[in-house]
Amino acid sequence: NPPLRINIRHLFHIIYSVPGWKNPKHFTDVHGLPCIEKIVTSVEDIPEPISTNIIGMIPNWINGNFLRNGPGKFEMGNHRFNHWFDGMALLHQFKISNGEVTYRSRFLSSDSYQTNKEQNRIVMSEFGTLTMPDPCKNFFQRFVSRFDLPKPTDNANVSFVTYKGDFYVSTETNIMHKVDPETLEAIQKVDWSKFIAVNGATAHPHTEPDGTVYNMGNSYSSKGAYYNIIKVPPTKVAEEETLEGTTVLCSIPAEDKTKPSYYHSFAMSENYVVFIEQPIKMDLLKIVTGKLTRKSISDGFSWNPKLNTILHLIHKLTGKVSSIKYLANPISTFHQINAYEEDGFLIIDLCASDDGQAIANYNIQNLRKSGESLFPHQVYNTLCRVFPLRFVLPLRIDHCTPYNQNLIDLPNCTATAVRIGKNKVFCTHEDLHGEDLHKYGGLEFPQINYSKYNMHPYRYFYGCGFRHLVGDTLLKMDIRRKEMMVWEHPSLYPSEPIFVPCPYATEEDDGIILSVIITPNKDKSTFLLVLDAKTFKELGRAVVPVNIPYGFHGTFSSTA
């Protein structure tokens, strides 16, 4: 028989003929994207600190730990994870002191990681990866195991968060891990459901100036799904405390009881929590029966563009949900930028797109596509661009409020809010950017001068431009002038930018930007970048002699 010859272009024609891939919607027409396979390549952890090579200058006033979280191991034995969100959590620490930087990393010793490692295979299911039956069990045992309810993962690979002064790493299940920020060692596993009736919580809580923390989490009962606003007290009564004293401020029933909306974060102003119920839906029946049907959690997610987006306001003092439903066209949002109140309006800024199918496209095989022959642009072009938007919500709606006219009278504001029913206001957004952002692929991973300007009027935010499947530029956005500054270098891929204020700051952008820059085309040359936040010029970099995968979120903890 003649040898089998596979034409790559013919192969992709076959793939695109598979149901679900047929005639995918294209949002751009980009070609020739470079290979970024190494950003999802497993690495070893470095538990003991190592020195870095300083190029330029790291300001002496920066003293503390820059902590990062994200996936660092993408297979266990011969089993590979399917989705970028599934990789085993790898914690990173850049310790900055007197102009010098050391680096260390440590795999989170979660139950998921330890069990997978001991059995040398994927034992715990993750977001996009369903565990295979234990090969040591007989046929009947393997069949019966399909009827077991899925256990929530404790692979907390999304972010570092703080509660009552302690550091935790978090994902979106009910399990967090308290960690030592100096050694990165896990100290204690903490289960939200032991303190309040929720089945998980976001990895993006909001913190008040006094240390009180608000978060959100879902709960499920015979009456359906509920979204819960969570309040964690600012301090401990006893040193060994974790989430004691946490309360549910209110519960909001999902519009569709069996298909609640997915949310990754929420917004908070001085007096309100703002929850965005978006048309990304989670089919609870599909998720619960996933082991039986051999479907992962991600298979239970869907985008329904026929539904409106609903913005809910919850008063932080009373826990009362506003009777007014603020409606908008269908949008998908992962990260909010800021929210504040001004002249009787609540202004909420967020990064959003018109399509909510991006999650499915971040399978690891898509990130590993390389070279023109393998069409990496095919995946990128099916991703809707994300842009910063502003909604303005009128707070004073009563029987005298007119219908069918724009209620917003703020100067230079193009957002609209029109009363269309007794308790319904339809909102349209204002763009927070100029046309020049389009050539940088939109923006994600937004950050602000949080400690001084969260819940207050502000001018600047920072993020990553996305001309590839991950960030490939750093952007500083001036929302007053709708102008931007850019840091970019070919083949360098910046992570989420974190703003650190100067100790002598008098203006909003007095400070520096920290970002880990991934170099997939150059071995062992990842570096921590330090930019002047005002000029957006490079001050220095700390080159790390190891490879680091592209991560998700982090924080800076000052020790000065």
Cα–Cα distance for residue pair 46/54, rounded to 1 Å: 19
Asked if the model's pLDDT at residue 19 lies above 80, the reply is no
* Average pLDDT of the chain, as a whole number: 89
SS3 content of the chain, % helix, strand, coil (to 5): 15, 40, 50
Return the closest-CA partner of residue 57 out of 537, 558, 541: 541
pTM attached to this predicted model: 0.90
Tens digit of pLDDT for each residue in 417-459? Answer: 999 999 999 999 999 999 999 999 999 999 999 999 999 999 9
The answer to whether position 327 is within a domain reads: yes
> Under a CB-based contact definition with an 8 Å cutoff, are residues 35 and 520 in contact?
yes
Handedness of CA 437, 438, 441, 446 (dihedral sign): positive
> Under a CB-based contact definition with an 8 Å cutoff, are residues 387 and 353 in contact?
yes
> Under a CB-based contact definition with an 8 Å cutoff, are residues 458 and 451 in contact?
no
Q: How confident is the model at residue 469 (pLDDT cuts 50, 70, 90)?
A: confident
Asked if the model's pLDDT at residue 15 lies above 70, the reply is no
Query: What number of other Cβ atoms are within 10 A of residue 311's Cβ?
Result: 24
> Under a CB-based contact definition with an 8 Å cutoff, are residues 155 and 124 in contact?
yes
The answer to whether position 440 is within a domain reads: yes
Return the closest-CA partner of residue 519 out of 476, 490, 496: 490
Cα–Cα distance for residue pair 58/511, rounded to 1 Å: 12
SS3 sequence of 448-500 = CCHHHHCCCCCCEEEEEECCCCCCCEEEEEECCCCEEEEECCCCCEECCCEEE
> Under a CB-based contact definition with an 8 Å cutoff, are residues 228 and 251 in contact?
yes
The residue among 381 and 100 whose pLDDT is bigger is 100
As a whole number, mean pLDDT of residues 362-375 equals 56
Task: Write the burial class of residue 283 (CB in 10 Å: 0-12 exposed, 13-18 middle, 19+ buried).
Answer: middle
Tens digit of pLDDT for each residue in 32-74? Answer: 778 788 888 999 999 999 999 999 999 999 999 999 999 999 9
Split into its structural domains, the chain has a count of 1
Asked if the model's pLDDT at residue 133 lies above 90, the reply is no
The answer to whether position 245 is within a domain reads: yes
Cα–Cα distance for residue pair 183/49, rounded to 1 Å: 9
Cα–Cα distance for residue pair 462/454, rounded to 1 Å: 14
pLDDT at position 142: 39
As a whole number, mean pLDDT of residues 72-86 equals 88
> Under a CB-based contact definition with an 8 Å cutoff, are residues 517 and 494 in contact?
yes
Which residues sit in the known binding site? 204, 264, 335, 553
- Percent of the chain residues topping a pLDDT of 70: 88
Return the closest-CA partner of residue 447 out of 556, 542, 528: 556
Q: How confident is the model at residue 365 (pLDDT cuts 50, 70, 90)?
A: low
The answer to whether position 26 is within a domain reads: no
The answer to whether position 324 is within a domain reads: yes
As a whole number, mean pLDDT of residues 144-170 equals 81
The answer to whether position 20 is within a domain reads: no
- Percent of the chain residues topping a pLDDT of 90: 74
Element (H, E) at 118: helix 111-119
Which residues sit in the known binding site for Fe cation? 204, 264, 335, 553
Residues β-bridged to residue 191: 175
Residue 431 DSSP code: E
The answer to whether position 2 is within a domain reads: no
Cα–Cα distance for residue pair 45/107, rounded to 1 Å: 6
pLDDT at position 333: 96
pLDDT at position 364: 64
The answer to whether position 103 is within a domain reads: yes
Alpha-carbon distances, residue 500 vs 58, 63, 450, 484, 540 (angstroms) = 13, 10, 9, 19, 15
Question: And the tokens for 148?
Answer: 């077991």
Helices and strands (DSSP H and E) totals, the chain: 8, 37
Cα–Cα distance for residue pair 468/465, rounded to 1 Å: 9
At 312 the three-state DSSP class reads strand
pLDDT at position 450: 98
Question: And the tokens for 304?
Answer: 């329904």
State which amino acid sits at residue 166. Answer: D
* β-strand pairing of 345-353 with 309-315: unpaired
Range of the domain at 228: 37-558
As a whole number, mean pLDDT of residues 302-326 equals 96
> Under a CB-based contact definition with an 8 Å cutoff, are residues 296 and 129 in contact?
yes
Q: How confident is the model at residue 338 (pLDDT cuts 50, 70, 90)?
A: very high
Q: How confident is the model at residue 500 (pLDDT cuts 50, 70, 90)?
A: very high
Cα–Cα distance for residue pair 367/374, rounded to 1 Å: 11
Q: How confident is the model at residue 225 (pLDDT cuts 50, 70, 90)?
A: very high
As a whole number, mean pLDDT of residues 150-168 equals 92
pLDDT at position 13: 36
